Structures are given as C-alpha cells and as structure tokens.
Chain A
Amino acid sequence: SQQGEEDPQALSIQEGENATMNCSYKTSINNLQWYRQNSGRGLVHLILIRSNEREKHSGRLRVTLDTSKKSSSLLITASRAADTASYFCATDNDYKLSFGAGTTVTVRA
C-alpha cells in the first residue's frame, strides 16, 4: 500500500510561474524525500528533509515538512519547460521508501 499521497494529481502552469504540490502521509517517518521522473524513466532525487527539519531549500526548490499534520509541500519557483515531469514524495520508514501516485506537472511555453 502507498503511504504518501500527492495533491493535485496534475498541474498545468505557464513558464515562469510557481508550482506547488502537496504530500500527505499516514505514519511517523525518519525523513521525506522528493523525486522527479521524466517520461517513465528513472527517478531523480531532488531533496531530502529529515523529520526534525521544517523547511529546506535547493536552488529553485523549497520543501516544507509539518510532522504534526503529516504533510509536506514542494514549491518550484520560476518554472521552466524542463520542469515538466512527474513529482513523487517518498516517506522513509525504516528501510524502505513508500511513494504516492505522484503529481504530473506540465509547464507551457
């Protein structure tokens, strides 16, 4: 069964706009990771946020984590066409990652 659930399922934005997607999960976690997947190929690791962290930045990415609400968000600022992809959150519970179904982001030129 999948622990994380991303919202929305799909997102279409104009180049230059910001994209925000959310992830909710059910059980306690060690950390939460965000991944990007292009065209059904391998997942690219974007960012890891540990359970004792609240916010983390990496380039145009900003991730927040609220363990009391069991939720996380990923913000991509100033989106580009190359950001078109599926984005997954994955919760790390002991030895395995549990993924949601992902958010498909389309950036229009």
Chain B
Amino acid sequence: DAGVTQSPTHLIKTRGQQVTLRCSPISGHKSVSWYQQVLGQGPQFIFQYYEKEERGRGNFPDRFSARQFPNYSSELNVNALLLGDSALYLCATGQSSYNEQFFGPGTRLTVL
C-alpha cells in the first residue's frame, strides 16, 4: 500500500503570495490532519478533517484554510504569506482521529 503522499516537496514563495499544498491519504483513511513544524520545534496542529467536515482547528489565523474532497484527499491553503509561515507542513491521516496517525513526507515552504 502506498503511504501518505504530499505535493509539492518544496516550494518557494514571496511575502503576500498564496500557496496550496496537497495531501493524499492512505487508502481507507478518512481522517486528514495538517501540522506546521518550524525548525527546532515539534509539529503544531492546524486542522483536522473527518468525512469531509472540519473537526477541529488549531491556533492559526484565518489566512489558513483547508478542505477535504470526496476521495478524502485534502488541500491546505495559506493566503497573504508571511516570513513566519516558512516551515515544514505535514499531513497525517488515519482511519479515525482515535487511531494511529501516519504522516506524509511533508512540504517544505520557504517564504522570501
């Protein structure tokens, strides 16, 4: 079985731009969560979607939004990029939010 996939692998943007990151879950997984990991820190929770509905949101501004599609894949959008948005963005999927969460390889976003 393929693992969690994320695209793109790397991304360079300038301040004020918008970015869309994508995640495809493991087959059978209906829960998708997004995390931001700044260098030297642990991942911080951004969103969780289960069965295409938002279940929870972390302490992130409204510039961050996400959605989940009928095939359970997900997109994370970040508008009006700031330098501080530079980070590794990780997607995690699971059969539900109460089971093991499996992470993708991440998207490295650099904002200049």
Contacts and interface: CB of A to CB of B under 8 A. Distances in A.
Interface of A: 1-2, 4, 30-31, 33, 35, 40-45, 48, 88, 90, 92, 94-102
User: Interface extent on B, as a size class?
Assistant: 20 to 34
Contacts of B92: 43, 97
Contacts of B101: 33, 45, 97
A13 B33 CA distance: 34
A37 B102 CA distance: 12
Given A43-B90, A45-B102, A48-B100, 14 more contacts: A2-B42, A2-B44, A33-B101, A40-B39, A42-B104, A88-B42, A92-B98, A94-B56, A95-B50, A95-B55, A96-B97, A97-B35, A99-B35, A99-B42
A1 to B, nearest CB: 8
Given A35-B103, A41-B106, A42-B104, A95 B56 contact: yes
